[in-house]
């Protein structure tokens, strides 16, 4: 879901919150860390009175941690397997299915349907 759509809608049912937490812990974590490269500012160059920003190459967060050598080997070992065994299209399909399920959970009608409510007469107009 887009951030704008998420900001305007409320998902306050317990099932929707649990489903969102599960999505963020599993599929979205893998998607962001393995398949989504992120750009970081490399340096700033002064060109006259202006600053020109130069970005570094865009590795994924997983590649950035592996290249830094600062991560613990036992923590990085399970993360080395997903890039070869994960299919980005399959993961994206699962994310979309989960997002639709979350939307459905959050927008179930808990009140009676409009058809079962008594209809009100139209308001009287004054002339």
- How many Cβ atoms from other residues are within 10 Å of residue 61's Cβ? 14
Q: Please give the span between the terminal C-alpha atoms of the chain, in angstroms, as a whole number.
A: 50
In this prediction the pTM is 0.58
The stretches in the chain having pLDDT less than 50 are none
pLDDT of residue 15: 82
pLDDT of residue 11: 61
Tokens of 87: 């299919």
pLDDT of residue 70: 82
pLDDT of residue 126: 64
β pairing state of 50-55 and 41-47:
antiparallel
pLDDT of residue 87: 84
């Amino acid at each position: 879901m887009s951030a704008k759509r998420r900001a305007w809608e409320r998902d306050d049912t317990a099932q929707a919150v649990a489903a969102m937490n599960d999505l963020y812990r599993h599929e979205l974590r893998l998607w962001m860390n393995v398949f989504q490269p992120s750009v970081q500012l490399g340096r700033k160059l002064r060109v006259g009175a202006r600053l020109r920003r130069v970005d570094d190459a865009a590795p994924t967060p997983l590649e950035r941690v592996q290249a830094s050598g600062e991560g613990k080997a036992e923590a990085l070992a399970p993360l080395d397997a997903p890039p070869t065994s994960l299919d980005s299209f399959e993961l994206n399909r699962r994310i979309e299915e989960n997002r639709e399920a979350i939307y459905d959970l959050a927008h179930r009608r808990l009140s009676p349907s409009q058809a079962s409510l008594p209809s009100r007469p139209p308001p009287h107009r004054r002339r």
